[in-house]
Amino acid sequence: MQPRNSRLNSSALRGAVDLAAVKAAGEAAQKAEQARAERARQAAAAEASGVAPAQSADQLVIDVTEDTFEAEVVQRSTEVPVVIDFWAEWCGPCKQLSPVLEALAEEYAGRFVLAKIDVDSNQLLAEQFGIQGIPAVMAVVAGQLVPLFQGAESAANIRKVLDQLILVAEQRFGVGGGAAAAPGEAGAAAPQRPEDPALTAAHDVLDSGDLGGAIRAYRNVLTDQPGNTEAKLGLAQAELLQRIEGLDLQAVRAAAASDPKNVEVQLQAADLDLVGGHVEDAFGRLVDTVGRTAGEDRDAARLRLLELFEVIGTEDPRVTAARTALARVLF
C-alpha cells in the first residue's frame, strides 16, 4: 500500500475532532447548569420552609475517602472546581501546605472546594491518581483531572494557580462556585448566543485551506470572546495544520527515531502523529520528551502537548491519561 500524503485537508481535521471536543465541553457546561439549578431549587425550598441553607466555612474543606470520592469530588466538580490535597499525618511539608490551602479555601469563599485525601487511609485513590510523592495537589473540573503542583508552595504562587484554574473552569465548562451568591443568582443561566457570523466565517476560511487567514479570523473572535471554546479549538487546529505544511512524514519520523534528543523534530513528529490519527503516540512522544529534557526544551515540549490537548478536546480520555503521565514526569 502506498503511503498517504502527509498533508491533510483542514475540513477533514475539523470534522474529525472538533465535534467531540465541543460536545464534551457543552455537556459539561450543561451538567454544571443543571447542578446549579438544582442547588437553587433546594435553597429556595429550604427558605420557603423556614430552614436556612448551611453556608459555613466547613463546607469549603471536606475530608474525602474512597467511599465518598464519587459524590464529594466527581459529582461536586460539575458545580465548582474541586482542589484535592493529597497528604499524610507523617508528612512534614503537608503540615505546612494544608493550612495554606484551607485558608485559601475560605478566602475564595466558594469559588473552589478543597478535598483532603489521606493517602495512608485511601491507598487505592493515591494509586489511581499516580501519586508518587506528597504533598500533591490536583483538581477535578466537570469530571476532568487537572494536575496542579507538588510540594509546599507559597500562598502567592498558589493564588496564581487557583486563579487560572477558576478561569478555565468558568470559560470552558461553565463551572464556577460562589458561596456568597444569592439562590436566585446561583441558578441563573446565561442565555445561549446564536451562531456567531464571525465564527462561521472563520470556519469557512479554514475549510478553504487559507490557514493564515483562518488563524487571524479565530484570533479576532477570541479577542471579542476570550472564552469561546469553538474558536479556541479552531485556532488550535489551524495552527497545527500550518505547522505541518511542507513536512515530509517519512523523513520526519526517521529523523525523530534517530535523534531522540532533537526537540524540534520530536515536536514535528508529534504534530504528524496527531494529524495521522495516532493520538496516543503523539502524546506519548511529547511526554517522553518532557521527561528527558530541561529548561527551554522541556517548556517547548510541554507547551506543544497542551496545544495538542486543545485540538483533541480536553475531556477526551486520552487527554486525561496524558495529563496524568505529564504530571508524573514533571513532578
Distances (CA, A) of 103 to 113, 118, 216, 263: 12, 19, 43, 41
- 91 flagged as catalytic: yes
Catalytic residue among 28, 40, 83, 91: 91
Catalytic residue among 94, 113, 138, 322: 94
CA distance 136 to 149: 6
Cite the DSSP H helix spans in 49-154.
69, 92-107, 123-128
Contact 21, 236 (CB under 8 A): no
Query: Which segments within 73-162 are labelled E, that is strand?
Result: 82-87, 113-118, 136-141, 144-150
Looking at residue 77, the DSSP 8-state letter turns out to be G
Cell numbers of 182, please? 444569592
CA angle 170, 28, 130 (to 5 degrees): 90
Identify any residues that bridge with 85 across adjacent strands, giving them in sequence order: 116, 137
CA distance 293 to 100: 32
Other beta carbons within 10 Å of 329:
16
- 273 flagged as catalytic: no
Length of the chain: 331
Return the active site residues: 91, 94
